[in-house]
Structure 1
């Protein structure tokens, strides 16, 4: 359990960087382009690189063997570069340099995001992964709270301050994770890994796409379409539709993150007790209602209350989805399935902001949360087609023995 908390620092750095990126970079882009659809597209152009890199990196890390382990080398390369390019984003001199720094930062993060996530099941027994995912996402949620809360205050001091702070945090987190997690010592499947090395298997992406996995990945895609679109465009929604200041719009997102953090660990325990699929379905239904309600909210206090409730339902989804996708495969495919998980989330990140931005250009800002609600409804339809019987770890998760 101690190792899980220490690994959480990796998620902490990822979350704080992404939250700042999604909150403030659209404000930079707004100075150069007028169309919200174009802003949405430019916020996703970097994900085209992540789209191809992350599944390949995850698959590659499954077959990497070094004296540092199979995942840690990717962190040692990617995190320092990500820290550098994050720090220089606010020092852009025009649209070209802004896009260049954005792309380089996201390429760097693509090098270590999947391996960082795959470390959790590597060092955690099968029946403890849902709880462990709750812990590391708790750490990630704390990162988002700091990004939205402290980041908004630092931004008011100088627009570069939150990005520089995030870079320093990334380097500190790299030091913590690399010094505290030793894969050879902490891995729970060392015997399995040894046989993998001896057999040198080729784990193809196609071999992982069974019926259950395809339906689950499709559901993941649609709920990330809703989430990514809202997260990316919310600051513009708050500023231009609700009349909030940039700082208040960003700070309002902290309420969503606070609820996510507070409910992250309980969601993991409930996923173990009642089943991951059931918790995900509850979360989807709840977030569908929350997104529908936001459209009618004009008061800042009520907006933050609704976002607080939404964060709880997002925890039900996000905490249980990764262990669910891992549970449908074999141990030697953890990195590959992690890559598939981030493949569909990257697809959502690519398609959602420009699509929803175009809808805003055509119909106004109020359409944002209608579209998000509709996307959650589609995710629910596919999630209901996922067969619970294909989740082999559920029996172990509930503590039932044959």
Structure 2
């Protein structure tokens, strides 16, 4: 019956534009906020901990907002109200970050918290738009498109905004903020108010408050029937420790240890995102043909091996060490596409049609919970064992995640995990 419902790749690309803007802002923020904090704080562990504490608000609210967006009914639909509130406010306060940094550490942190709160309001709803508009069998492919657009945003941040940062530290924040506003306007006039693959449920989620329904359903993950679901989410939590730690601390490693300038550090990290963009759609197609979990497991073996090699690159007699590092990061981006493109569709499939927002919230609960501890944890590892230890710590997280993901996918029945 769902095969007769409309499906538009053009709409998926428009929705992908929302992810483009989100990743443009988020990638630049994660790469350069530790350096901005470095003007006030020397310790990498403390800088990382502040980055992590910033995400605490997001972890607490995103799952609740995701579940709430499944339930709310308004004239403009159930997802769009959150975009109307969150995206413009996020744009304004992202633009204000460098100005807050010139006043004091506390001014910077206050602006930062408001920015993150606004991002939290719209993040789960904007990502939920993809499964709302996509049948289950096409979700890996559609998510490949979404991740392609997000990867383009990451590339634009690390290659484009990084260059602007070298010219004037306020320019990239202004440009990214304006792009976020423009994306909101396009989404507002394009997405369906009543998407074809979204439906309301009349079961346990009918409590009056979204927060109550979320925590009620979260408790179900303890049941034996949901043990495999829980292991999959734990795997996502663990490997995001490694990924988020690298994302937050790489520019610190490059600037303080390799003595790169700030723009070059961001550009070098951009090769990771470039490979992700180029291989996002092929990885999505691969996940549609094979199993999503199986493709993820391949990536969870390859990526830590690549990270482990990075501290040894200076021992290789290669004239251009920066180019060598960029090449290795490019390979890492390919491995990351195998993991990240499959992860969200895998979790969304667990929710069926009626709990897409709820499981979207769970995905972000577990992935962003990592962001609370990862920057500080790997920053502490760097403080204790020097900068290169960053990559060994990240590798360990991916190997552990492999175990939990393999165990989880085995426990969950095939009928619960459409290919």
Quickly name the TM-score band, shorter chain normalised.
Answer: over 0.9
Cα 1:96–1:377 change in 2 (3 A) is: same
Cα 1:196–1:67 change in 2 (3 A) is: farther
Query: Of 103, 106, 111, which residue of structure 2 is paired with 1:96?
Result: 106
* Cα-Cα RMSD: 1.6
Return the alpha-carbon distance in structure 1 between the equivalents of residues 341 and 144 of structure 2: 5
User: 1:54-113 CA distances to partner (integer Å, 9 max, x unpaired)?
Assistant: 011011111111111111110010000000010000001110011111111111000000
Cα 1:98–1:331 change in 2 (3 A) is: same
Kept after mapping to 2: 8 A contact 1:327/1:392 = no
Question: For residue 144 of structure 2, what is the aligned residue in structure 1?
Answer: 134
Question: For residue 40 of structure 1, what is the aligned residue in structure 2?
Answer: 48
Q: Which runs of 5+ in 1 are unaligned?
A: 398-402
Return the alpha-carbon distance in structure 1 between the equivalents of residues 162 and 112 of structure 2: 20
Query: Of 252, 274, 278, which residue of structure 1 is paired with 2:268?
Result: 252
Alignment of 1:205 with 2:221, yes or no, is no
* Equivalence map 1:174-213=2 (5 Å): 174-184=184-194, 186-189=195-198, 192-193=199-200, 196=202, 200=206, 202=213, 204-208=217-221, 210-213=226-229
Kept after mapping to 2: 8 A contact 1:324/1:391 = no
* Equivalence map 1:236-247=2 (5 Å): 236-247=252-263
The offset of 1:156, in angstroms, is 1.2
The offset of 1:344, in angstroms, is 1.1
> What count of residue pairs does the alignment treat as equivalent?
392
The offset of 1:196, in angstroms, is 4.2
Query: Of 7, 18, 24, which residue of structure 1 is paired with 2:32?
Result: 24
Return the alpha-carbon distance in structure 1 between the equivalents of residues 350 and 413 of structure 2: 6
The offset of 1:329, in angstroms, is 2.6
Return the alpha-carbon distance in structure 2 between the equivalents of residues 99 and 248 of structure 1: 26
Kept after mapping to 1: 8 A contact 2:350/2:359 = no
* Equivalence map 1:13-162=2 (5 Å): 13-92=21-100, 93-162=103-172
Alignment of 1:379 with 2:376, yes or no, is no
The offset of 1:394, in angstroms, is 4.9
The offset of 1:374, in angstroms, is 0.7
The offset of 1:292, in angstroms, is 0.6
The offset of 1:284, in angstroms, is 0.7
Return the alpha-carbon distance in structure 1 between the equivalents of residues 52 and 113 of structure 2: 10
* Equivalence map 1:389-400=2 (5 Å): 389-392=412-415, 394-395=417-418, 397=419
Alignment of 1:362 with 2:370, yes or no, is no
* Equivalence map 1:246-325=2 (5 Å): 246-298=262-314, 299-325=321-347
Kept after mapping to 2: 8 A contact 1:208/1:329 = no
Mean Cα deviation higher: 290-299 or 277-286: 290-299
Return the alpha-carbon distance in structure 1 between the equivalents of residues 380 and 227 of structure 2: 33
The offset of 1:25, in angstroms, is 1.1
Question: For residue 6 of structure 2, what is the aligned residue in structure 1?
Answer: none
User: 1:231-275 CA distances to partner (integer Å, 9 max, x unpaired)?
Assistant: 000001001111111111110011001100000000000001011
* Equivalence map 1:334-345=2 (5 Å): 334-345=356-367
Query: Of 167, 174, 196, which residue of structure 1 is paired with 2:177?
Result: 167
SS at 2:260 equivalent? coil
The offset of 1:152, in angstroms, is 1.2
Cα 1:178–1:392 change in 2 (3 A) is: farther
- Please, what TM-score do these two structures have when normalized by structure 2? 0.91
The offset of 1:390, in angstroms, is 2.5
- Please, what TM-score do these two structures have when normalized by structure 1? 0.94
Return the alpha-carbon distance in structure 2 between the equivalents of residues 217 and 390 of structure 1: 16
Kept after mapping to 1: 8 A contact 2:19/2:149 = yes
Kept after mapping to 2: 8 A contact 1:154/1:162 = yes
